[in-house]
Amino acid sequence: MKNPKYMSSVKRIGVLTSGGDAPGMNAAVRAVVRTAAFLKLESVAIYQGYQGLIDDKTQIMNPRSVNNIINKGGTILKSARCSEFRSIEGRKKAFETIKKHKIDSLIIIGGDGSFTGAMIFQSEFKIPVIGIPGTIDNDIFGTSHTIGYDTALNTVIDAIDKIRDTAISHNRLFFVEVMGRDAGHIALNTGIGAGAEEILIPEENMGLERLLESLSRSEKSGKSSSIVVIAEGDKTGKNVFDIAEYIEKNMPNYDVRVSVLGHMQRGGRPTCFDRVLASRMGVKAVEYLNEGKSNAMVGLKEDEIILTPLEKAIKGKSEINKDLVRVSDILSL
Ligand code: F6P
């Protein structure tokens, strides 16, 4: 039932997933559609992110349209990084779709690029928007966790554990590249969780010399195999292959291999944590819209779902936990 306290003008919510997909996005879509129905509101799926708004790819949803998706990776709504939406012409076309289908509010599930688009769109066309943070990178200010991050961590740990088996068997040094263009959350946490020798992240410049020193030290201390985790956006400015080549040249006793985990990190069944997070965020996003809130993103803070203005979520920096760097340094002895 609608809370009589609020005079909501929201009747038909459009929902889309945008940017890189993340496990748990489906659970968020399910929560949005079902909460809308619970509050006697309508929901409309928009396919392929903002591109679907521009190209008018929509479908009315009901609670049964989101059956059996809570456990599925990817996004049933499809996703895209849409350059056309960056232009005013593109956004005007998108607004035509909104008018045509009488959509009066939007829920955008995605990362900071998607929220930038949402913020501009809502200011130009005065359409209420709530964002739900969905990206494996966990690089969004205003939430301790983004949807998909926990699943990606577990996927990466699983992969590195397997790499460790073969690294030990062959006395090899492995460089494992994980995702994170601008953020080292995945590298730092999986590096510690998988017992990596060193972790290279975009937030800190370790430098190749120090890496070499550290690996030489561990070789001397009796380690016959090692794993180094590198975020794709690492600060050395070199890619994982260049780094591996440099170390191999300077440590001829080590047999070096590179493993780039790539997009497998974005797929797979969401963990329980991500399903619950996505469900909570989806419910709150609809409730907030219905209460007249807009231009903000839902986020998790101390186990509560909170709201952060979109501008803050986009401009704020999601800092890495420096204590994790210290823990990693101590334990890689
Ligand atoms: O934003 C999530 C992310 O997976 C990043 O970690 C990665 O750099 C990027 O997306 C890859 O994007 P795409 O799938 O478009 O190549």
Both 154 and 144 in one domain: the answer is no
Residue whose CB lies within 8 A of the most ligand 1 atoms, among 182, 230, 266, 318, for a mutation test: 266
Both 20 and 129 in one domain: the answer is yes
Detail the DSSP E strand segments found in the chain: 12-17, 42-46, 58-61, 105-110, 129-133, 172-178, 198-200, 226-231, 255-260, 296-301, 304-309
Residue 122 lies in a domain: yes
Residue 289 has φ and ψ, to the nearest 5°, of -60, -45
> Residues with Cβ < 8 Å from 279, sequence gap 6 or more?
27, 28, 30, 31, 70
Q: Whose C-alpha lies nearest to ligand 1, atom 10? A: 20
In angstroms, the CA 48 to CA 296 distance is 22
- CB of 135 closer than 6 angstroms to any ligand 1 atom: yes
Q: Reply yes or no on whether the pLDDT at 1 is more than 80.
A: no
Q: Reply yes or no on whether the pLDDT at 231 is more than 60.
A: yes
Ranking 69-78, 91-100, 313-322 by mean pLDDT, the lowest is 313-322
Residue 324 lies in a domain: no
Both 159 and 302 in one domain: the answer is no
Both 282 and 135 in one domain: the answer is yes
Both 162 and 256 in one domain: the answer is yes
- Ligand 1 centroid vs 20 CA: distance in angstroms? 6
- Ligand 1 centroid vs 22 CA: distance in angstroms? 10
Which of 266, 289, 305 is at the close of a domain? 266
Q: Which of 11, 200, 215, 23 is nearest to 109 (CA)?
A: 23
- Looking up residue 44, the CATH number of its domain turns out to be 3.40.50.450
Both 179 and 276 in one domain: the answer is no
In angstroms, the CA 315 to CA 333 distance is 37
- CB of 137 closer than 6 angstroms to any ligand 1 atom: yes
Which atom belonging to ligand 1 lies closest to the Cα atom of 266?
4
Residue 210 lies in a domain: yes
Both 168 and 306 in one domain: the answer is no
Model pLDDT for residues 9-63, shown as the tens digit of each residue = 899 999 999 999 999 999 999 999 999 999 999 999 999 999 999 999 999 999 9
Both 204 and 274 in one domain: the answer is no
Q: Whose C-alpha lies nearest to ligand 1, atom 13? A: 20
Q: Whose C-alpha lies nearest to ligand 1, atom 1? A: 20
Both 9 and 127 in one domain: the answer is yes
pLDDT of residue 7: 54
Q: Whose C-alpha lies nearest to ligand 1, atom 11? A: 20
Which of 242, 266, 290 is at the close of a domain? 266
What's the residue count for the chain? 333
pLDDT of residue 233: 86
Both 136 and 108 in one domain: the answer is yes
Residue 322 lies in a domain: no
- Looking up residue 193, the CATH number of its domain turns out to be 3.40.50.460
- Ligand 1 centroid vs 84 CA: distance in angstroms? 19
pLDDT band, very low/low/confident/very high, at 125 (cuts 50, 70, 90): very high
Residue 321 lies in a domain: no
Residue 326 lies in a domain: no
Model pLDDT for residues 69-78, shown as the tens digit of each residue = 999 999 999 9
- Range(s) of the domain holding residue 20: 4-148+270-315
Residue 323 lies in a domain: no
Catalogue the active-site residues: 137
pLDDT band, very low/low/confident/very high, at 4 (cuts 50, 70, 90): very low
Q: Provide the 10 A C-beta neighbour count for residue 81.
A: 15
Both 164 and 110 in one domain: the answer is no
pLDDT band, very low/low/confident/very high, at 232 (cuts 50, 70, 90): very high
Q: Mutual orientation of helices 240-250 and 208-220 as an angle, nearest 10°?
A: 50
Average pLDDT of span 253-258: 94
Both 80 and 129 in one domain: the answer is yes
Which atom belonging to ligand 1 lies closest to the Cα atom of 232?
8
How many domains in the chain? 2
pLDDT band, very low/low/confident/very high, at 66 (cuts 50, 70, 90): very high
Residue 212 lies in a domain: yes
